[in-house]
Each structure stands twice: as structure tokens, then as C-alpha cells.
Amino acid sequence: EPEVTQTPSHQVTQMGQEVILRCVPISNHLYFYWYRQILGQKVEFLVSFYNNEISEKSEIFDDQFSVERPDGSNFTLKIRSTKLEDSAMYFCASSDFLQGHYEQYFGPGTRLTVT
Amino acid sequence: DAKTTQPPSMDCAEGRAANLPCNHSTISGNEYVYWYRQIHSQGPQYIIHGLKNNETNEMASLIITEDRKSSTLILPHATLRDTAVYYCSVISGYALNFGKGTSLLVTP
């Protein structure tokens, strides 16, 4: 069964450093998403991406964040200057658009620890 | 998107049906009801969705009331592996809104 993959599984970085989290969505999907989950809290939507542009973003997704689909298979989330509060699990998801709805498939997540 | 309300926790005996309710009284006509679950810290897993008709798939059944203000997710024969946090989300666009969900504990 096709699945979303994410690398790395765990990333440790120092405050102020840039990080890039990588995702390989399911191959025939056209819609891509990033969510995050701070430890012990709910899963929060960050951004959705379609046709090489952002289709929707949350208040969390400020100028420190950016997304890119650099080639036909990868989807990345970049945090330019990490802060302690960026420590969280980051989930990538992808979906197709069938009969008016989106069934999102999530990856296993990347745990980001900012020290 | 409409707000949802779910009980914080529920228990279910293994082999019995688990019925998880969700209130979404402000749902609008073009909004779908989605159910996902999260086991430990894994990525959320899609279970089922519906607009106004009841739905069934290999994992679960979804019962939506006629006025669409509430729904119930039914796991017909719960197993220990169904222990997870279950989220009900009502959306018309891209962003899934995961509230606090219902923590379901399936006991032997």
C-alpha cells in the first residue's frame, strides 16, 4: 500500500538555525500538507499546497516558514530561524481530490527538537 | 469551519462495538464530516468521512443525523489495537481541524 514517508525521523537543531524537513507524498496525489503537534497538544494545520503554490495557511505559518516542491517527488518544509517553541512533531500529508473531498494520508512525522 | 465537540474519553470492552459521538451543530451544507485517529504519536490515520448519508467501510461505520448536527463513529468489533485518540473534523476546504478528540481505551 502506498504511503507518505518523512525524513529525518528526528532532528535536533540549535535555536536560530535553519532546518528543512522532507516528505515524499503518495505518488499520484496532487495536494500536500504540513501539520504540527507540540508534545501533549492537538495536531495543528500549518499549510496546504497545490499546483506549486500555497492554497491555505494558518496563523502559525508565518514568514519563518516556507514550503517547496523542488522536484516531482519531494515536498519540504523549511524553518528559517528556529525557536524553542518550534519543537514539535511535524506531519506531512497528501491527498487526491475525489468527488468533492480530500482524504489525507499522513506520514509518520519528524520530531524536531530545538535546543 | 464548524466546531466539533467530543467526549474526552471512553472505554470499550474488546469485541464489543465502540460508539463515538461528535457534535457539530453549526455545520453548513457543504461541509463534510471526517474521522481520523491517532495511535500514540503516530501520524493521524483516516477512518471514514460523510456528507449526509450513512457510510460504511472496512474500518468503521459513520452515522450522521438527518439534521447533520451530530454524528457517531461505530467500530463494530473493537480490538486492543483500536485504542487511540479519535478525532471528528468538519471541513469544506483543505485544513483538518483536530480538536482534543476522544481517547478510546479498549480493554480485554
The rounded average pLDDT for each run of 10 residues, N- to C-terminus, in chain A (115 residues) is 93 97 93 94 93 93 95 93 97 82 89 98
Q: How many beta-carbon pairs under 8 angstroms link A with B? A: 53
Residue B87, min C-alpha distance to chain A (Å): 10
Q: How confident is the model at residue B60 (pLDDT cuts 50, 70, 90)?
A: very high
Judged against a pLDDT cut of 80, whether residue B47 lies above it is answered with yes
The whole-angstrom separation of Cα A84 and Cα B55 is: 43
Q: Mean pLDDT across the stretch B37-62? A: 93
**Which of B49, B51, B99 is nearest residue A42 as measured by Cβ atoms?**
B99
pLDDT at position A70: 87
**Which of A58, A91, A100 is nearest residue B95 as measured by Cβ atoms?**
A58
Are the C-beta atoms of B85 and B44 separated by less than 8 Å? no
Residue A72, min C-alpha distance to chain B (Å): 21
Q: For residue B96, which residues of chain A lie inside 8 Å, CB to CB?
A: 35, 43, 45, 104
The reply to whether residue A45 touches residue B43, judged by beta carbons under 8 angstroms, is no
pLDDT at position A100: 60
Half-sphere exposure of residue A1, counting CA atoms within 13 Å on the CB side? 2
pLDDT at position A102: 76
pLDDT at position A98: 67
pLDDT at position B103: 97
The whole-angstrom separation of Cα B11 and Cα B46 is: 21
pLDDT at position B2: 64
Chain A interface includes B55 (CB < 8 A): no
Q: Which residues of A touch B (CB under 8 A)?
A: 4, 31, 33, 35, 37, 42-45, 48, 55-56, 58, 89, 91, 93, 100-109
Residue B98, min C-alpha distance to chain A (Å): 6
Q: Mean pLDDT across the stretch B17-26? A: 95
Cell readout for A94 is 497528501
The reply to whether residue A4 touches residue B42, judged by beta carbons under 8 angstroms, is no
Q: Mean pLDDT across the stretch B58-87? A: 96
Residues 6 or more apart whose Cβ sits within 8 Å of residue A28: A96
Residue A107, min C-alpha distance to chain B (Å): 6
Q: For residue A41, which residues of chain B lie inside 8 Å, CB to CB?
A: none
Chain A interface includes B38 (CB < 8 A): yes
* CB crowding A1-22: b at 16 or more within 10 Å, else e: eeebebeeeebebeeeeebebb
The whole-angstrom separation of Cα A88 and Cα A113 is: 7
Judged against a pLDDT cut of 70, whether residue B1 lies above it is answered with no
Q: Is B103 exposed, middle or buried (0-12, 13-18, 19+ CB in 10 A)?
A: middle
For chain B, the average pLDDT equals 93
